[in-house]
Structure 1
């Protein structure tokens, strides 16, 4: 099973959380969400997808963007690279159905609204750009292979914490995630995940507040957003082998994600007046496992 779950999580990496047209970020799911394979050996999965994402976080306008992703295992260490997100599990996995403890670094480059290009809404464009955020932090988690349907299905839970060190929003992001993935056959696999995000005051101010000067430029009302729980996310993921065996060769993947913005983030004029608190994300693509 060394590549089956990795292929599907590569799909999830395309649009999990957070994901914006400018950002194309990876998942709240870290690399260690992959289950143990049946050999304990190294493997790699590389993929490219086309994602449909909002123009900005909270937008009701959508566009297409390419999303590259890669995941795998080297000497027992899992890694994940998805768009602008990277993580590594520094605790080596065991072999076969077992418990898996996870911990490691995670990094995200947030490009949300760092340019006004690609934003259809003229009033939101008039708010101006937000600086690029480089969020560094870590995660911990636990997973279990062989839970419900077979010795190969996988349930995992993790929580990550990141801090912007580049001054884009200068704040923090806390993200818990639960993922369940199960093989349907050697050719197909499916899974679901649920996650949430709690952010600091700086994140709320930079992306959802509107200052008096921004109000004058855009015509939107002045608004002061406070930090807190920003959203919850529910997604479905799936993969199907082109070559007939998900353990190697070419695979198709797809994912559909619903995200609900909450609290001051949903009430911000860029969401309540000019966008929507109901965010839909999706991606389809191809991956190769070896």
Structure 2
């Protein structure tokens, strides 16, 4: 199932973590002269993840999500939960450097495979296609010559007419190499939805209350969740700079907030505490 994660940005951190160490070490005099990450390159991968059935659920399920990251003709491609973001500013050699470009993602929360029988009686929701801008700034060499600290935010609007609302998602992340072939990172992010977004995912109307037995509830705009994610990446031949195969492991926790937490969908049938974990394989060329 391809769905947008409530822990926003975790897969962006995952793949970035597997290659940023190599990019940082381009300045290392011991690095190989043929560095696949110096020019155009692409990382493709797939991750398996165990996560809540929906944002706010206490039932868990396994999912598979494809990943893509790279740089083509000065445009950087970065994965986000359920989609991709493009960085149109080619200033990766500056310090700090800035990111600005479009982000597009799918949100498939409660679109089939709802494990809770009561919540399932509320009916399936539609897939949302969320589009908007993303901006950020990265500070390299914060604690050591090869690490980086990033602050970013994106705003997205649903263009398919599912929730018909918008979200704002700020995040901060820190990445550092532990060796030429091992990278670790931590990110903290949050998601805030407007009235339309929160109403679509967390309100229960009279018909839904009659079908499910849950109380009617009217959700208003506010923070949906805040969470932290950890990632460790490993290059299989011990050197990120020559591309090839790598693996990553990740874990995360998020906490539902405001009306997303108070809704009976979460407070009665689910849990405000959300956990996830996964493992993935990537290839860079």
TM exceeds 0.5?
yes
Q: Distance in 2 between matches of 1:56 and 1:18?
A: 8
Could you tell me which residue of structure 2 aligns to residue 135 of structure 1?
130
Could you tell me which residue of structure 1 aligns to residue 74 of structure 2?
76
1:251 aligns with 2:246: yes
The answer (yes or no) to whether the contact 1:210–1:221 under 8 Å persists in 2 is yes
Could you tell me which residue of structure 2 aligns to residue 226 of structure 1?
220
Question: What is the aligned length?
Answer: 268
Q: Distance in 2 between matches of 1:68 and 1:179?
A: 21
Could you tell me which residue of structure 1 aligns to residue 277 of structure 2?
282
Could you tell me which residue of structure 1 aligns to residue 33 of structure 2?
none
**1:184 counterpart SS class:** strand
Deviation of residue 18 (structure 1)?
2.7
Q: Distance in 1 between matches of 2:65 and 2:99?
A: 26
Q: Are residues 77 and 32 of structure 1, via their aligned partners in 2, closer, same or farther at CA, if it must alter by over 3 Å? A: farther
Could you tell me which residue of structure 1 aligns to residue 34 of structure 2?
none
1:10-43: CA deviation from partner (whole Å, max 9, x where unpaired): xxxx999536xxxxx8659599998555374112
5+ unaligned residues in a row in structure 2: which ranges?
Answer: 27-36
Deviation of residue 273 (structure 1)?
0.8
Q: Distance in 2 between matches of 1:229 and 1:112?
A: 16
5+ unaligned residues in a row in structure 1: which ranges?
Answer: 1-13, 20-24
Could you tell me which residue of structure 1 aligns to residue 32 of structure 2?
none
The within-5 A match list for 1:98-247 is 98-115=95-112, 118-149=113-144, 151-247=145-241
Deviation of residue 252 (structure 1)?
1.1
The answer (yes or no) to whether the contact 1:154–1:181 under 8 Å persists in 2 is yes
Superposed structure 1 runs of 4+ greater than 4 Å apart: 14-17, 25-37
1:52 aligns with 2:36: no
Deviation of residue 167 (structure 1)?
1.0
Taking structure 2 as the reference length, the TM-score comes to 0.87
